[in-house]
Structure 1
């Protein structure tokens, strides 16, 4: 136990020390003039940019708007992907009908769809949310579909032996066995939704983090641009932590097994 505890402490120290060291080297490079402040401002300058955004109220106004876009797109796209994945996983007929078209559409980068989404939905909120929806569907669909198809057929045979109904089989066998794969799909979809948010907020944004970045770009404020990019990065980390917590809450036996 002591060896394991020492190993965890060492791992934690390394995880913290490496980013801190990189930040220190970054600040030294900026302060000494090795890197131009116009190209890559130091951490101190970026902190000042955050203070400026906070004091003006721009940051407090932009965050809820961006989170609402990403969250709405993730929920709509994730639920659609979940339904499509469950139906295709349980029905060979449904798989034959729409799996191939979805696989073809999946290979198209969602960024390439921006001009088409603008034509379809305009330059308002609809096109931004639609882009996030389109990016969020496929991770959930693919992982749900494959998780269901990967269930051991013997377990399904047992359900038939006990004469379970279709709903009982889904609730007692399919859902618990497929849940790890489904949650992995939601985790990927959450990350993809943030990537799509970055692209979506470049479409004539009048509010949100993307609007801050576009405005900063017009005035050549590299410090604010980097500050905005780091906000996206922090949001990605927060979302990943939330999804990990959701996995531990819904799959407590996996956490117990890993920790054993």
Structure 2
């Protein structure tokens, strides 16, 4: 597995991630690591005919999560090379199938893209967590969810309703919480008394119209090796459930 780092910055996290990744997997194409100055640049992978590109800020590359972030992106690259349905299915096609003839506000439409990304991340992290430890990922999930939740209830003056979560959109925060908990349960990363459950409960309470438990079940129970047709249907069903066009199913 060939890694080429462009720009000044640490290389150890990427080499360490490669060593972990290569215990079980390999990539056919080389990986160009692009270290970027903007600290707000999220870590993401690009795929081209002759290479993959891992884009990451220097700040993230120097963080305690750098190796895990790189390993996660390598896993996305592997799924892409495998032509896994989660990484080949067009989200636009799914939204067209799921929402044809429906009027959906732009905010919820953007959330549907995030739901599709969560499913991609589930499949990537099936690889990530098969070759590396899960402690840092669990801490990352916990801290990310905690950032969207406040410790003290706040009452909105418009409705008088008590909100437990912060200014982040409560509906997508609930979906994000379902994803975090589903991933942790899928890989046995949490005990029943873990703080992640408390944070997820707060997020779910703040978004009563989101079928939290059904989304957790959808994420947690994604088939390990779906065919293209079944995966497309899973995405269509999840999209319709989020916008309220499908029965959300039982709560488990």
> TM-score normalised to the size of structure 1?
0.26
The higher radius of gyration belongs to 1
* TM-score, normalising length: structure 2: 0.27
With a CA cutoff of 8 Å and minimum separation of 6, indicate the structure with the bigger relative contact order.
1
Name the structure with the higher helix share: 1
More strand by share: 2
